[in-house]
Structure 1
């Protein structure tokens, strides 16, 4: 590997490992989409415990599980494709290199494919863990009795929120792995492409958390929910 390759890989690792710390700093200063969604889901779980019929909650959970399952299945196919080339022997590697990748020694080509594979595997593990946690949340929703005056529904709602938020955070991490896998794939064209790709992926992810229309809309929703929760129960 050339010094330019090493520099590009170091930048990739820095962006990959540094994304979460940067996001935490931004969330403390400005708020982020993920942080706002945590409150929205917490309110959802609190409302769920007070609903007599939880059909809508089951439908929403089913949609989340289906989405995570779809991404996990797609990820598995991509892993199989990349692993097939990486472990398919010299003929597979040379055949892949002939379709337009940068002309490099086979060990370096293997390193490039291994980086893509690492991103995809990390994403798959996140999706699997997300699905498991979502199933745990379904069990919690199913366990809430319809009528029980002695039940502390506020505490149960908070506990359910503490379960669903990590589940969907894992889903977000799995989706994020796609962005970094695409950046890693740019390395096939050369180290400059890898550097540009990972910077673009990092910037796009931060923008979607901070400045995208969805982030601004969810921020408004959070403000409304917080203002409503601060009013307390209506006077008799």
Structure 2
């Protein structure tokens, strides 16, 4: 079993670079969309700010505490899932010979890089997702503390200032969470490499298309855009 990157065929190298480029560009577009075409991620940032402004005057604040707790639970779930998936990927590398024999029999595949080498992008993307989810979980914790520091009196000069701080931390946490989700999408795309270079290409195109459609052309975006009745 070899894991020499220099042994990769040119086509595999090009498509692997395309996977990384698609991952970076799709993430950048969702966070820095054209002014005329805001993404779902950008639209939701304003709703998060609205949430914190409403939070100042809401009594009691049990709903807000429950909501921020559910966001933390979501990030913890994905972080745990990534840890399990990384462990499975590492175990697969340890038993790559059996999987290698299986993939060589698939019609789309042929002689090429070992399974161990093909799993490295998957594990790398999952590791990135894990780090993003862990940081998002931490930031949602910071947000909950800032929310707890918001005075109950809306007339207090600190009330809306601290709510604004909580909103920005909330947005930063959500951005990290979204980056983790994108890494999972492209980790699944990278699994297509087990079918050969064309499987990698198909996975990359499919993951990129799904992410861009959900950010810029989904029904949920249309609903979110309708801010006024």
Could you tell me the TM-score, scaled by structure 2's length?
A: 0.89
Cα RMSD, aligned residues only? 1.8
SS in 2 for 1:149: coil
Distance 1:59 1:68, change over 3 A: same
Spell out, residue by residue over 1:146-174, the C-alpha distance to the aligned partner (whole angstroms, 9 max, x if none). 13633333322221111100101111111
Spell out, residue by residue over 1:88-115, the C-alpha distance to the aligned partner (whole angstroms, 9 max, x if none). 2xxx11022233364546x642221101
Q: Which deviates more from structure 2 when the two are superposed, residues 39-48 or residues 139-148?
A: 139-148
Find the aligned partners of 1:148 and 1:3 in 2 and give their Cα distance. Answer: 63
- The answer as to 2:158 corresponding to 1:152 is yes
1:3 to 2, 7, 10: 10
Q: Which deviates more from structure 2 when the two are superposed, residues 182-191 or residues 142-151?
A: 142-151
Maintained 8 Å contact 1:33/1:210: yes
Structure 2 unmatched runs, 5+: 1-7
Distance 1:63 1:49, change over 3 A: same
- The answer as to 2:172 corresponding to 1:166 is yes
**Equivalent runs, 1:155-194 vs 2, <5 Å:** 155-194=161-200
Maintained 8 Å contact 2:192/2:200: yes
Maintained 8 Å contact 2:27/2:182: no
> How many residues are paired up?
218
Maintained 8 Å contact 1:45/1:161: yes
Maintained 8 Å contact 1:123/1:174: yes
- The answer as to 2:205 corresponding to 1:202 is no
Counterpart residue number, 1:100:
103
Find the aligned partners of 2:88 and 2:111 in 1 and give their Cα distance. Answer: 20
Q: Which deviates more from structure 2 when the two are superposed, residues 38-47 or residues 212-221?
A: 212-221
Q: CA deviation at 1:10?
A: 1.5
Maintained 8 Å contact 2:72/2:137: yes
2:121 to 88, 96, 115: 115
- The answer as to 2:146 corresponding to 1:140 is yes
Find the aligned partners of 2:212 and 2:16 in 1 and give their Cα distance. Answer: 20
Maintained 8 Å contact 1:46/1:156: no
